[in-house]
Amino acid sequence: MPKRVDYTWLSYSGTARIDLAIILVAVTAVVIYAGTRLHRPVRLPEPGPQVKVIIGTGLVLAIVAFLICASVFVSGLRQHNLLRIVPKDPSPIAPVTALCAVAIFAAIIFLTGSQEPPIRVASGLIGAMAAPMIFEFPFDLIVMTRVYPPIPPDPSLYRALFFAPLFLIEILTLSLLSFVPTVRLTRLTFFCFALMLLVFAAWALAGFGFPASPGSYAFNVVSKIIAFVTALTLFTPSRKPDTIPEPTALESAVG
């Protein structure tokens, strides 16, 4: 029986570290290039009422599905007597995430001071919900194949069962940003996201390990904070009024 460990995913090692870092640097370059092509801040296309209902309903259903799938995942651990080696302490990054969520909520309320109170509150709540997903989506893509301990007889099936609804939650939560009229996509958004990916690349060279060591903890905290800053750039007030029709704004701004 394996001993209890202080991590929930296996670190990258050997050439896998270099391969991951190269991929992340390549993606970073694409994001930076996309940022340089954005000539002015633009609003995200706002979905219609029916689409908003579909997104909201889908998010609720995805959360329910995740809870069910997570319980199946835990049952698999328990069935194979693996639950005892999973860390029982809360994530060491959880306090950082909670503090950043409170900070970004307050910052967005301040940045949207010219808006009506309901819009300011909605902006703050959605921003606080979406910000961690900017970190979690690429993070989960990186660690999903290395989740520990593997559950027999088919670890890949259990991992897919756990991560499929989680990815859906992350995508739908990010799509909530399109509900808020104060959201603007800016160059700074792209550059901040690229900076987060560069931190990921440096973390990858170090093995992209669980934050049980000072180095991995620092990489995790720094990249998480940058993710929240990335979200905050979406709510930076526009200096000029947006006079371009929403459906063509993004197309016109990139050229």
**What's the token pair of residue 118?**
């309901």
**What's the token pair of residue 205?**
């060279």
- Cβ-Cβ contacts under 8 Å for 187 (sequence gap 6 or more): 35, 36, 38
Report pLDDT digits (tens) over 135-152.
Answer: 999 999 999 999 888 888
Asked if pLDDT for residue 108 goes beyond 90, the answer is: yes
Provide φ and ψ at 93, rounded to 5°: -95, -15
In 3D space, the residue among 144, 138, 147 whose CA is nearest the CA of residue 226 turns out to be 138
**What's the token pair of residue 201?**
């690349």
The predicted model gives 61-78 an average pLDDT of: 92
The pTM (predicted TM-score) of the whole model is 0.87
In 3D space, the residue among 231, 188, 238, 250 whose CA is nearest the CA of residue 46 turns out to be 250
In 3D space, the residue among 253, 235, 131 whose CA is nearest the CA of residue 182 turns out to be 235
Work out the pLDDT band at 243, boundaries 50, 70, 90.
Answer: very low
The predicted model gives 9-32 an average pLDDT of: 95
19 in Cβ contact with 213 (< 8 Å) = no
In 3D space, the residue among 98, 123, 109, 97 whose CA is nearest the CA of residue 176 turns out to be 123
222 in Cβ contact with 93 (< 8 Å) = no
Output the CA torsion sign for 202, 192, 105, 180. negative
In 3D space, the residue among 225, 134, 250, 246 whose CA is nearest the CA of residue 180 turns out to be 246
Report pLDDT digits (tens) over 150-188.
Answer: 888 888 999 999 999 999 999 999 999 999 988 999 999
CA–CA separation, 124 and 144 (whole Å)? 30
Asked if pLDDT for residue 59 goes beyond 90, the answer is: yes
Q: Annotate 47-61 with b (16+ C-beta within 10 A) or e (fewer).
A: eeeeeeeebeeebee
